[in-house]
Chain A
Amino acid sequence: MKRHLISAADLTRDDAVLILDTAEEMARVADRPIKKLPTLRGRTVVNLFFEDSTRTRISFEAAAKRLSADVINFSAKGSSVSKGESLKDTALTLEAMGADAVVIRHHDSGAPHRLATSGWIGGSVVNAGDGTHEHPTQALLDAFTMRRRLVGADAGLGQDLDGRRITIVGDILHSRVARSNVHLLHTLGAEVTLVAPPTLVPIGVEQWPCEVSYDLDAVVAKSDAVMMLRVQRERMNAAFFPTEREYARRYGLDGDRMSRMPEHAIVMHPGPMNRGMEITAEVADSPRCTAVEQVTNGVSIRMAVLYLLLGGNEPALTAGNGTSTRTEESK
C-alpha cells in the first residue's frame, strides 16, 4: 500500500483485494458485543471536512474509533476556514498537532492530492471525496458489497470481480463515485458500462476503461449490478435534461426495469436517494437493493484503509481472538 489513498486509480489489483479481504476481517468486529480493536491506539486521525457530509464523516469516525484511534473532527463551517484560513495553514496546524492521518473531504477536485504532495503535512492522506474527481473509499465499499453479494463473503476472500458486468447509471459528469468506481472495478476485472443522457457524460470518456450507453433498457438485462447515482435537481435547471419526469422515465430504475435484471443481480445506490427520480420506492425498498448494506460495509472498508495505512505490519486482528485469517505473507 502507498502512504496515501487519493485515487482508486492508484490501487493495484493486489492492493484492492488486500483492502477487501482486510475489510472482511473488520466486518467481523461489528458482530462482537464490544466493537473495538486496539490496533491504532495512540494514533490520531483528523476528519477534515470542507464540505458537509454527515454520513461519510460518521463512517470514518466510527471506523477510526473502532480501531481505538483518537479522532478529531474538523469542519470548515464555523472554523478558522470560514474566517479565510487557507488549506495550507489548516494543514500546518494539523501537522503541528501531530495528526497521523488526515481524512479530507473537499469541494475542490485535487485538494487531497495537493495536501499529500505539497509537503504541508507528513501523515497519510485519505481522500473522502474531492469535488467531481474521486471518492475511492466509496468505490471500495461498493466493490466490497458486490463481492459479498455476487461471490460470497467467505468465498470471496482473495477474489476479485473478474467478468462481472456492472452498470453505473446517472450523472456521470459530476460524479466522483462513478470515476472511482470505473477505475477500481476495471482493476478488479469487472466490465463496466456507464449509462446516462449524453449531457451528463464527460467529454473524453472514450478513454476510460468502460463502455458508454444512452439506453438503460439495453443493458439492465445483462447486468450483475446496477448502480444508481443521485441526480441533483439543479441539473435540470442547467438544461442537462428537460424534466424530472423525462429523466425518471428514461434513466430511472423502477420495478419493471428491475424485473428484467438477472435474478442474482443487485441494485446499488451510494445514497442519499431521490426516490421517484433515479429510483422508485419499490426498488429502493426491495431486498435486491443494497443501499443500507453499503453504509454498513463503508465502516469496514474505512477501518481496513486506516489500518493498512497506519497499522504497520501487525495482523489486523490480534492473535488469540480466533478470528484472524491473514498471515504475515498475505500482507
Chain B
Amino acid sequence: MSKILIRGAKVLGGEPQDVLIDGETIAEVGTGLSAEGAQVVEAGGKILLPGLVDLHTHLREPGREDSETVLTGTKAAAVGGFTAVHAMANTFPVADTAGVVEQVWRLGKESGYCDVQPIGAVTVGLEGKKLAELGAMHESAAGVRVFSDDGKCVDDAVIMRRALEYVKAFDGVVAQHAQEPRLTEGAQMNEGIVSAELGLGGWPAVAEESIIARDVLLAAHVGSRVHICHLSTAGSVEIVRWAKSKGWNVTAEVTPHHLLLTDELVRSYNPVYKVNPPLRTEADVLALREALADGTIDCVATDHAPHPHEDKDCEWGAAAMGMVGLETALSVVQHTMVDSGLLDWAGVADRMSFRPAHIGRLEGHGRPVSVGEPANLTLLDSAYRGEVDPAGFASRSRNTPYEGRELPGRVTHTFLRGRATVVDGKLA
C-alpha cells in the first residue's frame, strides 16, 4: 500500500499538522513530516476529522433498489465524509434473519466505499409481535449489535422489555423509533399551530415523549441500554436528560434536519419536508441544538431516507416520508452547531464519529487521529460556501430539503482504511 501525507490539516480543528498514512493505518502525526515516497494531499488548513459514522441510514437494499442500493448509498456516505454506516432493517425482506443481515453486510464489503454494519429488526417483519432471532443475527458474519424496528415503534411494552433484556447477552442495544401508534393515527406533520391551519393530521410531541419515558424506565428496570432514534422535541430532550441524571444507560441521536428545519416549512405543502418524526417548532430546534452541545444527545444520525422522484413529486398526503441526508449532514452540523458557536470541531468528531461508533460497538471506527489507529479520516473545507445541488448527488435519490439553499463546508477527501474514497469532493 502506498503512503499518503495529509499536509497542514487542522486535526479536530486544532493547529495545522501533518498526518502520514501508511497502508491502512496512521503512521505519523506531527509537523514537517517527510513526504518521501508519499502521495501528498495539501490540506491548507482544512479540518481533519475521524471518519464519520452514521447510526441510522436507510440503504433500501434489498427490495427498494429504485431508491438506493448498498453501492449508491455507500458512495453517498463517502461523499458526505462517512466511513461507516449502520443500515436500518426496514428492507424488503426485512432484515430480521441472519441471512438478510449477512447479505447487506457482504454488499457493503463489496462496495468498498464505506463499511456497512447492518441493524437487525427487533421483531419479525417489524410487526411488533414476536422477537426476531436477535442472537442468530449477532452470531452471523454481520455481528449485529444494534436492533431496531425503525419506521415503526416497538409499542408493546412486554416485547420491548424482553428485547432489552435479551440483547444484554451480547452487549446489544435496542434503538427505538419512539412513536405511540394510537396517538399518531393519520398524522402527517407536527401537531400545533401550523397543522391546525393546514388541516393536516397532527403528530403530537407527547406521542414521542411518552414512549421515551416508558423505555428509559424499562431499560433502567432491566439494566440494559436503550438508544432513542431521531429525537425531535424539547420534551424528549428533558426526559433523556433526566434519565441520564439517574445514571441510566440511555443514549440518543438527532438528525441534521431536526437541527435546522421547522414545521413552518410545511406551509408550502412541499412533500420534500414530509418526514417522520415530523419537523417541529423553533423552540424544539433550539432545545435539540443545546442538548447536542451539552451531550444530552449523544450523536448526530442522518436518518438518510432515499425515495424516488415520483414518491415526492405528488400531493402531500400521497408522498413518502423521509429525506436524504448523508451528503449534507456535515454541512448542516457546521451551520447549526459550529458556525453558531455551540460546538467546536472536536465536539463534532465526538458527536459524529466517536460516540456513534461506541453506541454501535463498531470496531475500527470512531478512533482518535493518532499513530497506529485505522486511517479512517475525513477532510473538510469549512470555508466553502455553496448552494446544494442534488443533481450532483451520489445517492440514487434526490429528495433533499436543501436544494438551492446555501450551506457551509464541503468534504474534499475521505479515507477508508488508508484508501481515498473521495478526492477533491468527487468519488475516487
Contact = CB atoms under 8 A, between A and B. Distances in A.
Contacts of A113: 269
A118 B193 CA distance: 25
Nearest to B266: A110
B316 A108 contact: yes
B32 interface: no
B193 A207 contact: yes
Given A86-B314, A87-B314, A108-B315, A133 B193 contact: no
Contacts of A24: none
B196 A111 contact: no
A137 B192 CA distance: 26
Interface of B: 188, 191-202, 204, 268-270, 310, 313-318
A97 interface: no
Contact of A204 (B195, B268, B310, B317): B195
Contacts of B269: 109-110, 113-114, 117
B316 A110 contact: yes
Contact of B196 (A114, A118, A205): A205
A274 to B, nearest CB: 21
Most buried by A among B199, B201, B314, B316: B199
Contacts, number: 78
Contacts of B192: 203-204
A180 to B, nearest CB: 10
Contacts of A134: 199
A148 to B, nearest CB: 28
Interface string A177-210: 0010000000000000000000000111101100
Contacts of A98: none
A46 B196 CA distance: 29
Nearest to B315: A111
A61 interface: no
Nearest 8 interchain pairs by C-beta:
A108-B317, A133-B199, A110-B269, A204-B193, A204-B196, A202-B196, A132-B199, A109-B199
B310 A86 contact: yes
A111 B317 contact: yes
A182 to B, nearest CB: 10
Most buried by B among A107, A109, A113, A130: A109
A230 interface: no
Contacts of A276: none
Nearest to A175: B199
Contacts of A109: 188, 198-200, 269, 316-317
A176 B316 CA distance: 17
Given A108-B315, A204-B194, 5 more contacts: A109-B269, A110-B316, A111-B316, A113-B269, A115-B315
Interface in A274-304: none
A88 interface: yes
A131 B317 contact: yes
Interface size class of A (residues with CB under 8 A): 20 to 34
Interface in A102-139: 106-111, 113-115, 117-118, 130-134
Given A108-B315, A108-B316, A110-B315, A133 B198 contact: yes
21 contacts: A87-B318, A88-B313, A107-B317, A108-B317, A108-B318, A109-B188, A114-B270, A114-B314, A115-B315, A131-B199, A132-B201, A176-B199, A179-B199, A202-B202, A203-B192, A203-B202, A204-B192, A204-B193, A204-B194, A207-B193, A208-B196
A199 to B, nearest CB: 13
Nearest to B310: A86
Nearest to A135: B199
Contacts of A176: 199
Given A88-B313, A207-B193, A133 B318 contact: no
A74 B314 CA distance: 19
Contacts of A205: 196
Interface string A15-35: 000000000000000000000
Contacts of B194: 204
A316 to B, nearest CB: 32
Contacts of B270: 114
A205 B195 CA distance: 10
B196 A203 contact: yes
Contacts of A110: 198-200, 269, 315-317
A108 B318 CA distance: 8
Contacts of B318: 86-87, 108
Nearest to A174: B199
Contacts of B314: 86-88, 114
B206 to A, nearest CB: 10
Interface in A134-170: 134
A177 B270 CA distance: 23
A330 B273 CA distance: 42
Nearest to A104: B315
Contacts of B317: 107-111, 131
